[in-house]
Amino acid sequence: MPMRNRLPPDQYINGILAGDRLVLSRAITLIESRLPNDQALAQEVLNGVLTQTGHSIRVGITGVPGVGKSTFIEAFGKYLTGQGHKLAVLAVDPTSQRSGGSLLGDKTRMEQLSVDPNAYIRPSPAGDSLGGVAHRTRETMLLCEAAGFDVILIETVGVGQSETLVHGMVDFFLLLMLAGAGDELQGMKRGIMELADALAITKADGDNRPAADRARVEYQNALHLFPPTGTGWYPPVLTCSATTGDGITDIWQLIQNHQEQMTRNGHRDRRRQEQQLAWFRSHLRRRLESRFFQQAGVSEQLKAMEEQIKDGTLLPVQAVENLLRNI
C-alpha cells in the first residue's frame, strides 16, 4: 500500500528530470526516510534517473567553525549562478545527529542564495549516524544532478570524520582557513590538509589582508612537506574575501583547471570509481550489521552478554562466537 503523500515512481522520475524543485524535494525526503516502503521507492526513483547523473562538478567545502563557510558559500554560490550555473548546496553535518541540523539549517545565513531560483539548498538529514548521513547525501547528490544542477557544493565542518566522508564523494575538496595569530595550523588536523585539493584563506580584506597573505605563504610552505598526491596536482593556497569578492573568481577558475587536468589524465574517473566502490563496501557493512541485529533473539542475547562482559566474566571473543553459533 502506498504511503500517504507518496507519488508513483514515474512522477518522481519525470519531475526530477524536468527540474521540478518540489518533486526533487519530495524525492529527497524519500531518501531520508527510514521506512522500508520509502526506501524501496527511493531506489526505484534513483534507478530511473541513474543515466542522467554524474554530469556535475562536485565540490566539497570544509573549515573550522568561524572560518566563514556560510558567507563564502553565499558569495561563491551567487557568483556561480551569475555565471549561468545551477547550484545545489548540501551538507554532511556530524552535529545534526543530535541537534536536528545546524549547518544550512538556518537558511537565513545564506540570504541571497536561499531565494536564488538557480540555487537549491538542502540541510543535512538529522537523526542518523554520520555514515548514514553521508550515504543519504550521496544519493541526494545524484538526484540533484538528474534535476539539472551542474555544480554541487557539499559543506561540512572541520571536526571529526565528516571531512573524510565528504572527500569520498567529491571531485574537488576545498579547505577554508583563517589567518590566525602565529598558530594557524593548530586547530586543523593535519589529516584534513592532506585531503585538500586547495586551501583558501578567508576574510582576506581590510586590516586582515597582510595576515592573510602571510598565512598563504606559510600554508603553501607547509603543503610542500606533504607527499605528492600521484595525480600531478599540487594543492595551491589562495586568499579570498566574501565581502569584497576578491579571489572568488580565482577559486572557480582553479576548480575548473583541476577538473580539466584530472579529466585529461584519467584521475577524475578513477577517483569517482574508487569512491563508488568505497561507498558500496561501507553500505554493505552497515546493512550486514543491521540485518544481523534485527534477527529474532539477537537483542536479548546481546543484552545478557553485555552484562557478563561488563562484569568481566565473559570474554568478548567468546561472546561473539556464542552469539554467531546461536543465531
> C-beta of 221: minimal distance to a copy of itself in Å?
11
Given the rule CB under 8 A, which residues bind a copy of itself? 43, 46-47, 50, 53-54, 139, 182-183, 185-187, 189-191, 222, 273, 276-277, 279-280, 283-285, 287-289, 291-292, 305-306, 309-310, 312-313, 315-321, 323-324
Which amino acid, one-letter code, is at 6? R
In angstroms, how far is CA 324 from the centroid of its own chain? 35
Shortest CA distance to 30 belongs to which of 47, 17, 43?
43
Q: By C-beta, is 265 or 273 nearer to a copy of itself?
A: 273
Q: By C-beta, is 243 or 301 nearer to a copy of itself?
A: 301
> C-beta of 255: minimal distance to a copy of itself in Å?
22
Strands of the sheet with 87-92, listed across from one edge? 119-121, 87-92, 151-156, 57-62, 172-177, 198-201, 237-239
- In DSSP notation, 47-98 reads HHHGGG-S-SEEEEEE--TTS-HHHHHHHHHHHHHHTT--EEEEEE-TTHHH
> C-beta of 253: minimal distance to a copy of itself in Å?
28
For 1, the grid coordinates are: 500500500
Q: By C-beta, is 18 or 284 nearer to a copy of itself?
A: 284
> C-beta of 271: minimal distance to a copy of itself in Å?
12
> C-beta of 305: minimal distance to a copy of itself in Å?
7
Q: By C-beta, is 71 or 319 nearer to a copy of itself?
A: 319
> C-beta of 45: minimal distance to a copy of itself in Å?
11
Whether 193 and 127 have beta carbons less than 8 Å apart is answered as: no
Q: By C-beta, is 27 or 121 nearer to a copy of itself?
A: 27
d(CA 293, CA 250): 50
d(CA 279, CA 281): 5
Question: What separation in angstroms does the CA of 195 have from each of 49, 157, 158, 218?
Answer: 30, 14, 12, 18
> C-beta of 139: minimal distance to a copy of itself in Å?
7
41: Cβ contacts below 8 Å, ≥ 6 apart: 6, 9, 12, 30
Q: By C-beta, is 126 or 309 nearer to a copy of itself?
A: 309
Q: By C-beta, is 41 or 80 nearer to a copy of itself?
A: 41
Q: By C-beta, is 134 or 240 nearer to a copy of itself?
A: 134
For 192, the grid coordinates are: 584534513
> C-beta of 63: minimal distance to a copy of itself in Å?
14
d(CA 276, CA 274): 5
